[in-house]
Each structure stands twice: as structure tokens, then as C-alpha cells.
A and B are shown apart, each in its own frame.
Chain A
Amino acid sequence: GAVVSQHPSRVICKSGTSVKIECRSLDFQATTMFWYRQFPKKSLMLMATSNEGSKATYEQGVEKDKFLINHASLTLSTLTVTSAHPEDSSFYICSARSHEVAHNEQFFGPGTRLTVL
């Protein structure tokens, strides 16, 4: 199957700083990338959808100025958590989709565990 990587896998930062998470599709071109957030023992909550070269679409309740998403190329999307606070601590997972793949299947990255002190 297709491979999606995320970097970093873990990050610890101080309150007030910004953190950037990268999501890359390694062996396919991702026309769409999704960013999810997952709290412990909970399911995935979609934060935003990004298409290459256009602005991201945010889900209701997700602050676009807080979670900046850039989908600069068909293989890279970044999520920047600006002025992070302890309540932003979570597991962030990206996924990528290509219309070339059967069922428009989404492939998930390994996730980034963010801890804000």
C-alpha cells in the first residue's frame, strides 16, 4: 500500500510556541490531505481538509488561525499549531488520498504526539 510519513513523531514544546508538523506522501501524489486529532481512547476527529494549491477547509469549531494548514505540493502538507497551549496536547494524524487509488482510499501517517507544557 501507499506510504504516508509524518514528522516529527513526537514533540514537546513550551506554552506559547508554535509547532509545525509535516505530512508527506512518499510514493504517490496526494490530491487531498486530511488532518485529524485524536484524544486518548477516542476516535479520530477531522480538523481540516486540504487540496493542493488551495486553501484548507476547516471543520466546524476548528480555529483556522490556530491551526494553519499549507498544502504546497502534491506530496507535502504541513500543520502549524500556533501559540500552543496545554489543551492542544493531542495525537495529530494526517492522511492522504489519491484518485488514482482504488476506492479513493485514505492512507494514514504514523501520527505526531504533541505535548505542550
Chain B
Amino acid sequence: GQNIDQPTEMTATEGAIVQINCTYQTSGFNGLFWYQQHAGEAPTFLSYNVLDGLEEKGRFSSFLSRSKGYSYLLLKELQMKDSASYLCAVRSPETDKLIFGTGTRLQVFP
């Protein structure tokens, strides 16, 4: 079966660093995506990993370990506007579809 797990909720303070973990057990793997979704809005693309290692993009970085079935999204210098849900999604090589995790709701406090 397909299983993608993320913590349900996290809180952090403005200016801090937060790491959102994602573990997956899927029948295949063809890349992992991270999306940000504000309430009532569509998900927006943050990052893509297909090889092991760290991808950095400004305040956001994403890490992948395929052997461990593990990824994390790292958000630095947190801002209030970073309060949102963060969705981890794995792409299936057989179907090319995205399988979404449960999502992590992040609340940033002043």
C-alpha cells in the first residue's frame, strides 16, 4: 500500500527555524514534492527532490533520503505568513500521479 506520514500540527516562533518531516512507504518512487497551502487556497509548489541530498531555495530547504524513505522541509527565519499547511507528495513511477501525505499545519507565533 501507499503510506505518507507527516506530523499533524506544529508551532514555532517568528524568526526561528522549523523542520517538517515526511516519511513514506510507497510501491515506487519518482520524486518528492513539497507544497504550501494557505487555508481555502490552492497548494503552491515549494520544492522537488528526486536524488538524495539537500535542495536549498532561499529560506526553504528540502532534504531527501531514498534509502530511509524520508524527507524534511526546513523553514528558516520564520515569518507570520509562513503559517499554512505543508503537504508532502510522492510521485508514483507507474502512474505518474502524486500521492499526498496528510499535511502538516504550521502556526507561527510572534
Chain A interface residues toward B at CB < 8 A: 1, 4, 32, 34, 41-46, 49, 91, 93, 103-111, 113
Contact = CB atoms under 8 A, between A and B. Distances in A.
Majority secondary structure, A binding face: strand
Interface of B: 31, 33, 35, 40-45, 48, 50, 87, 91, 95-103, 105
Which of A4, A34, A106 has the largest count of B CB atoms less than 10 A from its CB? A106
A4 B96 CA distance: 19
Contacts of B103: 42-43
Contact of B40 (A1, A44, A113): A113
A19 to B, nearest CB: 18
Nearest to B4: A43
A67 B44 CA distance: 25
Given A1-B45, A93-B42, A108-B43, 16 more contacts: A34-B97, A34-B98, A42-B102, A43-B87, A43-B103, A44-B100, A46-B97, A93-B43, A103-B31, A103-B50, A104-B91, A106-B33, A107-B45, A111-B40, A111-B41, A113-B40
Which of B40, B43, B50, B101 has the largest count of A CB atoms less than 10 A from its CB? B43
A3 to B, nearest CB: 11
A43 B42 CA distance: 11
9 contacts: A41-B105, A42-B102, A43-B102, A44-B43, A105-B45, A105-B48, A108-B35, A108-B44, A111-B42
Given A43-B102, A103-B31, A113-B40, A49 B45 contact: no
